[in-house]
C-alpha cells in the first residue's frame, strides 16, 4: 500500500496513481465478474506480456485492490479477485463502459 507521505494531495491523481495504467483497468474489468487464474487473464488481455501482468497483479495486491488466493493443491492453483476495496471501483468502471459505448456510437454515426 502507498505510504501516506507518497500519496498525492489531489484525489484524482491518487486514483490515477493506483489504477491509471491500461492494463490495471482491464484486469479490474475482468475481475469484476469472478475470480480469474493467471493464464486466463493472460489469454484474455491481448498484447500484455507475462512480466507486465505479473508486475500489475503484484502492484494491485500490494495496494489492496486485489487478493491472491493460493489453493493447497497439486499442482498449485492461484486465483485473483477484487478485494473489498477493489469492488468499490465497480461504479467507476461501469461509468467508463457506458461512456465508451456512447463514444463508439458517435464515431459509428460519423462513418
pLDDT tens by residue, 84-111: 999 999 999 999 999 999 999 999 988 6
Predicted TM-score (pTM) of this structure: 0.85
| % of the chain beyond a pLDDT of 90 | 74
Q: Which helix (H) or strand (E) holds 11?
A: helix 11-19
Domain layout of the chain by residue ranges:
4-110
pLDDT tens by residue, 64-87: 999 999 999 988 899 999 999 999
| 1 pLDDT more than 70 | no
Q: How confident is the model at residue 8 (pLDDT cuts 50, 70, 90)?
A: confident
Residue 61 has which C-alpha cell? Answer: 495486491
What CATH number is given for 4-110 in this structure? 1.10.10.10
End-to-end CA distance of the chain: 45
Say whether 26 sits in a helix, a strand or coil.
helix
Q: Which helix (H) or strand (E) holds 69?
A: strand 66-71
| 38 pLDDT more than 70 | yes
> What is the predicted pLDDT for the residue at 75?
87
Q: Which helix (H) or strand (E) holds 72?
A: none
| % of the chain beyond a pLDDT of 70 | 97
Amino acid at each position: 500500500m502507498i505510504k501516506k507521505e507518497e500519496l498525492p494531495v489531489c484525489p484524482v491523481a491518487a486514483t490515477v496513481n493506483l489504477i491509471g495504467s491500461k492494463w490495471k483497468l482491464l484486469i479490474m474489468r475482468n475481475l469484476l465478474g469472478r475470480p480469474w487464474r493467471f493464464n486466463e487473464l493472460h489469454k484474455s488481455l491481448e498484447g500484455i506480456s507475462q512480466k507486465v501482468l505479473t508486475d500489475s497483479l503484484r502492484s494491485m495486491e500490494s495496494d489492496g485492490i486485489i487478493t491472491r488466493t493460493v489453493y493447497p493443491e497439486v499442482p498449485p492453483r492461484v486465483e485473483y479477485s477484487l478485494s473489498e476495496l477493489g469492488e468499490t471501483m465497480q461504479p467507476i468502471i461501469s461509468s467508463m463502459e457506458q461512456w465508451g459505448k456512447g463514444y463508439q456510437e458517435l464515431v459509428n454515426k460519423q462513418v
